[in-house]
């Protein structure tokens, strides 16, 4: 850093313009394809603006009415924003709790010099693989495998575990569990690798001296590993939450966009997506987006804080 400052004293006059030239493409594209649409989204959220058949209604300024609608009991008898936020949170938790427990355990196994696990590269390769699978194809696969005439029902019947096919895709509990299972499979490998890197970043001498002091492995975990891993753990945890808020492909394709049964698996982005379909309800979709943005901004600021405290 010191060096670049010295350079700048001599050279900044002749080269500064190149800095601007090199960042122009990024900012031109950012403003046209991201920032402007974002501002338009926020702007829309204060307008009545949708399509009804062939007619376009609006745009008429309605103030905060779209936001009020999101928090008003609808025809089906629930408050949409609350219901879908809860759905999203529940679906995330079902996948994330086992994800973090398993990933933490695996990270400890892989880094333990005492256990000295062989074939780590193989195991890591296998458990990370589902992360790269096309989520929509993965969901379609689960739909085919768990359908009433699908292989899983056939297998369970052949094994004698059940005598009648289970309607996995028609029950609230099983649909949510399947979505949780898919999210778990897609993300636990990724989390394991990140937590592992975090543990490996801890000074080996600390573990060594704790061992010489006769600490048990549980003591080492709670007194050394976990406190020092905390910034990275929080980072991974909150990014997982931010990813959870954006959950879409898996429940969308698994339930054909309907969030069956009875909208119990409709997530926030699925709700947003419904407004962008035939009805082109830019007003309501805008309001949902703004709320999404606020939730994410709060979570992101926690991430930044944790990263900065990790630097100290």
Q: Which of residues 55-84 bind another protein (CB under 8 A)?
A: none
Using the structure block, give the residue that is written with the tokens 């309607």: 167
Closest distance between another protein and the C-beta of residue 111, in Å? 12
Half-sphere exposure of 48 (CA within 13 A, CB side): 10
Among 22, 76, 77, 164, the residue binding another protein under the rule CB under 8 A is: 22
Binding residues for another protein restricted to 39-58, rule: CB under 8 A: 39-41, 43-44
Distance CA(123)–CA(279), nearest Å, equals 47
In this structure, are residues 138 and 187 in contact, taking their beta carbons and an 8 Å threshold? Answer: no
Binding residues for another protein restricted to 265-304, rule: CB under 8 A: 269, 272-273, 276, 280, 282, 285-286, 289-290, 292-293, 296-297, 299-300, 303
Among 57, 82, 101, 129, the residue binding another protein under the rule CB under 8 A is: 129
The per-residue b/e assignment along 202-217, b for 16 or more CB within 10 angstroms, e otherwise, is beeeebeebeeeebee
98 binds another protein (CB under 8 A): no
Binding residues for another protein restricted to 152-211, rule: CB under 8 A: 154-155, 158, 185, 188-190, 193-194, 196-198, 201
Task: Report residue 266 as tokens.
Answer: 């409709």
Paired with 50 in beta bridges are: 57
Distance CA(226)–CA(245), nearest Å, equals 26
247 binds another protein (CB under 8 A): no
Which among 6-14, 64-72, 85-93, 220-228 is the span making contact with another protein, rule CB under 8 A?
6-14
First to last CA, the chain: 18
- Closest C-alpha to 146, from 128, 171, 127, 183: 171
Task: Output 114 or 205, the one with its CB closest to another protein.
Answer: 114
Phi, psi of 49 (to 5 degrees): -160, 100
Task: Output 13 or 76, the one with its CB closest to another protein.
Answer: 13
Q: What is the DSSP letter of 222?
A: I
Among 87, 252, 266, 274, the residue binding another protein under the rule CB under 8 A is: 252
Among 97, 126, 162, 226, the residue binding another protein under the rule CB under 8 A is: 126
Distance CA(127)–CA(129), nearest Å, equals 6
Torsion of CA 10, 16, 19, 20, to 10 degrees: 170
Closest distance between another protein and the C-beta of residue 77, in Å? 27
125 binds another protein (CB under 8 A): yes
Task: Output 73 or 154, the one with its CB closest to another protein.
Answer: 154
Binding residues for another protein restricted to 103-122, rule: CB under 8 A: 105-106, 109, 114-115, 117, 121
């Amino acid at each position: 850093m010191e060096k670049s400052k010295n350079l700048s004293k001599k050279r900044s006059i002749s080269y500064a313009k190149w800095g601007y030239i090199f960042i122009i493409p990024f900012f031109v594209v950012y403003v046209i394809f991201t920032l402007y649409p974002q501002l338009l989204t926020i702007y829309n959220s204060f307008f009545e603006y949708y399509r009804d058949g062939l007619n376009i209604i609006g745009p008429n300024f309605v103030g905060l009415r779209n936001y009020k609608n999101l928090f008003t009991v609808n025809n089906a008898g629930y408050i949409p924003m609350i219901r879908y936020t809860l759905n999203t949170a529940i679906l995330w938790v079902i996948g994330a709790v086992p994800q973090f427990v398993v990933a933490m355990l695996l990270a400890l196994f892989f880094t333990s010099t005492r256990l000295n696990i062989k074939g780590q590269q193989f195991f890591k390769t296998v458990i990370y693989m589902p992360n790269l699978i096309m989520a929509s194809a993965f969901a379609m696969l689960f739909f085919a495998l768990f359908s009433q005439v699908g292989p899983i029902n056939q297998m369970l019947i052949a094994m004698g575990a059940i005598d009648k096919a289970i309607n996995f895709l028609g029950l609230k509990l099983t649909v949510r569990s399947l979505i949780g299972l898919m999210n778990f499979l897609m993300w636990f490998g990724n989390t394991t690798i990140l937590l592992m890197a975090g543990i490996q970043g801890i000074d080996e001498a600390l573990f060594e001296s704790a061992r010489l002091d006769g600490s048990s492995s549980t003591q080492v975990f709670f007194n050394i590993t976990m406190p020092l891993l905390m910034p990275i753990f929080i980072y991974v945890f909150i990014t997982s939450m931010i990813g959870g808020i954006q959950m879409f492909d898996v429940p969308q394709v698994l339930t054909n966009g309907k969030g069956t049964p009875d909208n119990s698996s409709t997530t926030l982005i699925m709700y947003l997506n419904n407004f962008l379909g035939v009805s082109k309800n830019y007003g309501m979709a805008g309001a949902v987006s703004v709320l999404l943005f606020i939730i994410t901004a709060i979570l992101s600021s926690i991430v930044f804080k944790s990263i900065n405290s990790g630097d100290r």
